[in-house]
Structure 1
Amino acid sequence: MYSIIVVPAQCAGPEEQFRLAPGESLRFGRTPPPESRTGTVPGTGARPPHLTLTHDGISRTAGEIRASGAFWTLSNLSSRQTYVVENPEGAGEHIKIAPGRLDAPVPFEFSRVVLPAAGELLGFEVWAPRHDYVAADPSLEGTLTAPAFALDRTKRYFAVLTALCEPRLRGEPHAPLPTVDQVAERLRPGWPAASRTAVQWNIDYLAVKLRLKQPPESADCGPRLNGKKESLVSLALRFDLVRESELALLERELDPR
């Protein structure tokens, strides 16, 4: 069973993709190495796979991808060029692979490998669709672990949090957050009495509930929390407290807090 899929630029279909099982590797560069042209993979009779990038600015042997279960590693076989692996879903998130670095682990499910080539940037994609999860042991007894963030998705405060996250969940990672008035307007179809004061109260409530700020009655409620909306959205998106699929909740009638 393959664990990663390498998709060349201008790929015309699945037949031009490379599917690698755990332990298998794929070299890439300007020309296939001699063993790819004349040799075979031991025990299979097949030639080693090779992704050819026909550009004078790409090394003949530029790098190697190796599949390893639910993730993959990248070796930069260039002596001069730094490679970049971008997360297309990560709002600019990326890692750099220094020249000569071997077996650098890549943590992204969808990745774009970018190679500098004499004033141009060439690239290809790597998908890691395999997800492995631990199976729950029904024989374990005792009290359940308390949830890190106890959120009730039927309540108004969750709708406020979802409305704050909406622009970035819709694929605009650098979009400015909606104002309190805009959140109130967005929620009125399901919450006719939504107002600036009510929305702000729920934002303050969320800051306490998500432990960004101590409750007002605390002996040490800490300093004033600046950038409260930004902190809430950052936390919610980082830990998947709100997902794109939950945007539909904004259209339904809301229960009280």
Structure 2
Amino acid sequence: MSRCQSGLCHIATIMFAGAPILLVASLILVTGCDQVQNPEADATTQVQSPAHDDHGHDDHGHDEHEHDDHEHDDHEHDDHGHDDHGHDDHGHDDHGHGHELPATVEAAIKQLKKVTNQVRAALKDGETGKADSLVHSIGHLIEDLNEKIASADVEQKVKDAATAASEKIFDAYGELDSVLHGAKEEIENLQFSDFGPAITKATKTLESLLLEAKEAVTGETAEDKKPKEKEAAEQNPADSEKPSEKSAE
């Protein structure tokens, strides 16, 4: 009995002594399993991460698409700005410059005289705003007239004289325009007679140069026309005899 008891005691001693070792081994085993599982979790995380990034990239691409749409809207806004050009054209008409310019030098001088009379009447009636608009229209008329003179088939000296006359008219109306945009007292005391004589004289010079230009182009004067009319009457004696025949009857 004593030997058995001694053997049992020896086994018990070994078990109690090995318990801590078993505990440590168990902890190591559990830790190792966790480490084996964690790489799988990390791999799962790594697999999910790119997908998340891809999603974010898609969102970014979607934002870029919306940005492109916004730029497209901006382009449409620019088109709208182009339509505003029509508004500018409207403003151009409001200032009295939307009228058609004369087709010939003769028509331009005729219109110049007409507008000059309108300016004179407007200032006489105290309508300075109307006079100012008319003065601006004359500025455009003079510019067009100078272009017509430059392209006319006449001698250069005639062109130079006609251009100088038109520039005198332009300068006179420029001084008139300065007064119209000056002080209130100057506007109230403004009279067309302060500028009228210079404008009228230059306009008459233009008309005489126009007559000279016509003669240069056609090669005939007023005196040359009379013999031609006489020749035409001699070539048609029947027409010239009709009045005498009627008187005889």
Is the shorter-chain TM-score for this pair beyond 0.5, marking a shared fold?
Answer: no
Task: Report the TM-score range of the alignment, normalised by the length of the smaller protein.
Answer: under 0.3
Please, what TM-score do these two structures have when normalized by structure 2? Answer: 0.22
Higher helix share: 2
What is the TM-score normalised by the length of structure 1? Answer: 0.22
Q: Which has the higher strand share?
A: 1
